[in-house]
Amino acid sequence: MRARMPIAAAGAAALLALLATDVGSAAPVRTGSTARAPAPVRTPPPVREEPSPWPLREGPYHGSLDRIAFGAYGELRFAEDRVRGVTDPEWFSVGRIGGFASARFNPRFEFLLEGAWDQGPDDFSLEQADLRYRLKPSMQLHAGVFLVPLGRTNLQHDGPSYEFAERSLPATQLIGVPNAQLGVGVRGVGGKFHGWPLSYEMAVVTGYDDGLIMDAVGGTRVPMGRNNYGDNNGVPALSIRVAAHPSATSEIGLAAQSGKYNKTVLGGVTIDRSRYIHVLVADATSGFAGFDLFTEAAVALIDVPPGLEALYAQQQYGGSIELTRALREPIFSGWTHSRLTGALRVDAVELDPSVLGDSRTRLSASLNVRHVPLGVIRFGWYYEIARDRFNNVTPKAGATLTTAAYF
C-alpha cells in the first residue's frame, strides 16, 4: 500500500496539471510560415426551457456540431479494494477509453460515430453508428447502432461527467449500461403533461439474445444479452421512453423494452416457443435545498424455459438514489472553472427474488475536484454486501482515487 500511494498521487497530480491548463492555450500549430492556434474545445449550448429532441454531447468536443465535431475521454482507477478483508492485488486499472465523432452534411442529415473499450467486459463496444434525419423542427428519425432509450443513465454515461467511480448497480446489473443495439427509431418533443413539456423516443431494435441465460454464470444476467448487433431470431424488440420536464433542470422519465430473446427454429425444426424479456426503467432528476437528486429503478421480467426456473430468475429489480451538492465553486480564486462537490449514493439489486440470496447492496461516497467541463478527480469510498444464491455473505469495501477527462 505504501508503494501504491506515491504512484496514485503522481497520477492525480499529473491530471490536475492537465485539467488546470486550458485547451485553447496549447502550443500553436504551424502551417507553413503561419502560426495558428487550434480551435478551442467547445461545450454544448445551454439547457433550454423546452426539451430538445436532439441528443447533445454532455461534455466538450473539438470542432462544430454544425459541421464536424470529435473528441475522446478516458478513465483511470487507483484503489485499495478488500473482499472478506483480503486486499485485491489489482489496485490499478483503466476504466474506459472512448472516442466520438459527428458529421452534419446539411441542416437535416447528421451521422454520429462512438465507441469505447470497457474494462468490465474487457472488450470494445460500438455504441453509436447512427444516421439521423430531421423530419421537422420537433422530430428526428434515426437508424443504425444506437443507445436504446432505457433510462437517462444509458443515454448519457460519459465518465468525466459522472460523480462516482462506478455506475449504479441497476445500471450495470440490470440495464447493462452501455446498452447499444441495431435498429431504427424516432425521437422528438410534443405535448404537455400538467403543463410540463414532453419528450419521447420510440425504436425498433434487435433486442436481447439468449446470452442472458446461455452465457450467464450463477443465474439470469440480462446484460449478457446486450449489444446485440444482429437479430438472432428475426423478431425485433420495441423500446420506448417518455419524459416530462417540470423545469430546465429536472426530468421524470419512464422507459420500457419488450421483445423475444430466443431462437424458436433451428435447421427448419421448431425447438421452442417464443420467450420474451421485458425491461422497465423509471428515473428522475431534480434539485432541492442546494442538492441535486437523481434516482433510478429498473425491473426485468424474463420468460425462462421449463426446467431452468430453479437456477434462472424470472424477475429481477433494483434501484438507486444519488445526492450531490456543490461545496465550493471555484475552489481557488485563480482556478475559475473549478468546483468541489460531494456525493452520496445508496443502490441495491435483487437478482432472484425466489431465493434468500443472489443480491447486492452498496453505499458509496465521493468527494470530487472538478475542472468544468474537462474532467474530474474523485476520492471515493464504498461498502457493499453481496449474497450468492445460497445466501452466503461477502462483504466488500474500498477506497478509490479515480480520474476521468476529455481530451
Q: Give residue-wise pLDDT tens across range 157-173.
A: 888 989 999 999 999 99
Query: What is the model's pLDDT at position 54?
Result: 57
What is the arithmetic mean of pLDDT over 192-213?
93
Stretch among 32-46, 100-114, 220-234, 339-353 having the lowest mean pLDDT: 32-46
First to last CA, the chain: 30
The pLDDT-based confidence of 299 (bands split at 50, 70, 90) is very high
Residues 6+ apart with CB under 8 A from 251: 51, 152, 243, 244, 245, 283, 284, 285, 286
User: What CA–CA distance (Å, rounded) separates 139 from 386?
Assistant: 44
Percent of the chain with pLDDT over 70: 85
Tell me: pLDDT of 94 over 50: yes
Rg (CA), the chain: 22
What is the arithmetic mean of pLDDT over 114-137?
86
What is the arithmetic mean of pLDDT over 113-124?
81
Query: What is the model's pLDDT at position 25?
Result: 33
User: What CA–CA distance (Å, rounded) separates 282 from 150?
Assistant: 9
Q: Give residue-wise pLDDT tens across range 270-285.
A: 888 999 999 999 999 9
The three-state secondary structure class of 375 is strand
Tell me: pLDDT of 44 over 60: no
The pLDDT-based confidence of 189 (bands split at 50, 70, 90) is very high
56-60, 93-97, 322-326: range with highest mean pLDDT: 322-326
Report yes or no on whether pTM surpasses 0.75: yes
Report the helix count and the strand count for the chain, using DSSP H and E.
4, 22
User: What CA–CA distance (Å, rounded) separates 241 from 231?
Assistant: 21
User: Which residues in 348-373 are b (16+ Cβ under 10 Å) and which e?
Assistant: bbbbbeebebbbbbbebebebbbbbb
What is the arithmetic mean of pLDDT over 114-133?
86
Q: Higher pLDDT residue, 404 or 26?
A: 404
Q: Which three cell numbers stand for residue 270?
A: 421448431
Query: Could you tell me which residues are beta bridge partners of residue 81?
Result: 398
The pLDDT-based confidence of 287 (bands split at 50, 70, 90) is very high
Query: What is the model's pLDDT at position 120?
Result: 66
Tell me: pLDDT of 90 over 50: yes
Contact predicate 298/148, CB 8 Å = no
Residue spans of alpha helices (H) in 69-228 = 152-155, 169, 211-214
Tell me: pLDDT of 87 over 90: yes
Query: What is the model's pLDDT at position 378?
Result: 97
The pLDDT-based confidence of 335 (bands split at 50, 70, 90) is confident
User: What CA–CA distance (Å, rounded) separates 103 from 112?
Assistant: 7
Q: Higher pLDDT residue, 227 or 364?
A: 364
Share the mean pLDDT of the chain.
Answer: 85
Tell me: pLDDT of 40 over 50: no
**For the chain, domain boundaries:** 4-10+54-406
What is the arithmetic mean of pLDDT over 300-327?
95
Tell me: pLDDT of 21 over 70: no
User: What CA–CA distance (Å, rounded) separates 345 from 362?
Assistant: 8
Percent of the chain with pLDDT over 90: 64
Query: What is the model's pLDDT at position 65?
Result: 83
What is the arithmetic mean of pLDDT over 77-91?
92
Query: What is the model's pLDDT at position 14?
Result: 45
Query: What is the model's pLDDT at position 121?
Result: 65
CATH 2.60.40.1510 for domain 4-10+54-406: no
